[in-house]
């Protein structure tokens, strides 16, 4: 099951590591990457036009906001999030030290990438997860089926280079 506090924890770590606020899209993709790296946070993902998306994660951020645990900044385009620990201290729940280290590492290694790059990587990992044929060509065709010509073949292949980070063998 998903723990809302863990979503808040990831926002807090992002705020700390990158000294900025993640938008909804960045958070969605980062949580996806964290799960693909092996930390099961319990969020189910589907896919629409702009990469993998978890409605349960979205609902969690809404209610974290309602409870005053995270603040949304609606002034810009991206609905930026930050934690507010005036009432509640944000602590992770039911996660081991190793899992927390992995979360930190993914945020550090991928949190600085653009929303578009994260969308591509997350889409490629999504294709890997749901395609039976895990070959390089199959994943590339899978991404093309979803994204059309938005990303070049070269960009997709570059994204596949990150797969070893997530322990996903392709051949």
Q: Which residues bind other proteins (CB under 8 A)?
A: 24-25, 28-29, 44, 46-53, 55, 58-59, 62-63, 65-68, 72, 74, 77-79, 86-87, 119, 126-127, 130-131, 142, 145-150
CB of 55 to other proteins, least distance (A): 7
Cβ-based nearer residue to other proteins, 27 or 99: 27
How many angstroms separate the CA atoms of 146 and 129, rounded? 14
Which C-beta is closer to other proteins: that of 9 or that of 128?
A: 128
| Residue among 100 and 113 whose Cβ is closer to other proteins | 113
Q: How far is the CB of 96 from other proteins (least distance, A)?
A: 25
Nearest CA among 74, 85, 79 for reference residue 12: 85
Specify the residue, 79 or 113, whose C-beta has the smaller distance to other proteins: 79
At residue 126, the 3 state secondary structure works out as helix
- Cα 105 to Cα 58: distance, rounded to the nearest angstrom: 23
Question: Least distance to other proteins from the beta carbon of 9, Å?
Answer: 19
Q: Return d(Cα 39, Cα 31) in angstroms, integer.
A: 9
Smallest gap, in angstroms, from Cβ of residue 25 to other proteins?
6
* DSSP-based three-state secondary structure for 46: strand
150: tokens are 């938005």
60 membership: H or E segment, kind and range: helix 55-66
The string over 128-140, giving b where at least 16 C-beta atoms fall within 10 Å of a residue's C-beta and e elsewhere, is beeeeeeeeebbb
Q: 24 or 113: whose CB is closer to other proteins?
A: 24
Which two tokens mark 34?
């964290």
Least gap, CB of 157 to other proteins (angstroms): 19
């Amino acid at each position: 099951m998903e723990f809302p506090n863990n979503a808040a924890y990831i926002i807090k770590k992002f705020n700390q590591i990158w000294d900025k606020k993640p938008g909804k899209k960045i958070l969605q993709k980062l949580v996806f990457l964290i799960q693909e790296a092996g930390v099961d946070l319990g969020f189910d993902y589907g896919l629409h036009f702009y990469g993998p998306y978890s409605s349960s994660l979205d609902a969690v951020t809404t209610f974290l906001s309602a409870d005053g645990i995270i603040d949304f900044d609606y002034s810009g385009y991206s609905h930026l999030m930050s934690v507010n620990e005036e009432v509640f201290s944000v602590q992770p729940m039911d996660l081991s030290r190793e899992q927390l280290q992995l979360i930190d590492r993914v945020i550090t290694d991928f949190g600085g990438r653009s929303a578009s790059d994260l969308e591509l990587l997350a889409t490629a990992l999504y294709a890997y997860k749901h395609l039976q044929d895990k070959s390089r060509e199959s994943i590339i065709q899978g991404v093309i089926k979803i994204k059309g010509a938005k990303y070049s073949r070269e960009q997709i292949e570059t994204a596949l280079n990150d797969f070893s980070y997530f322990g996903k063998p392709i051949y």
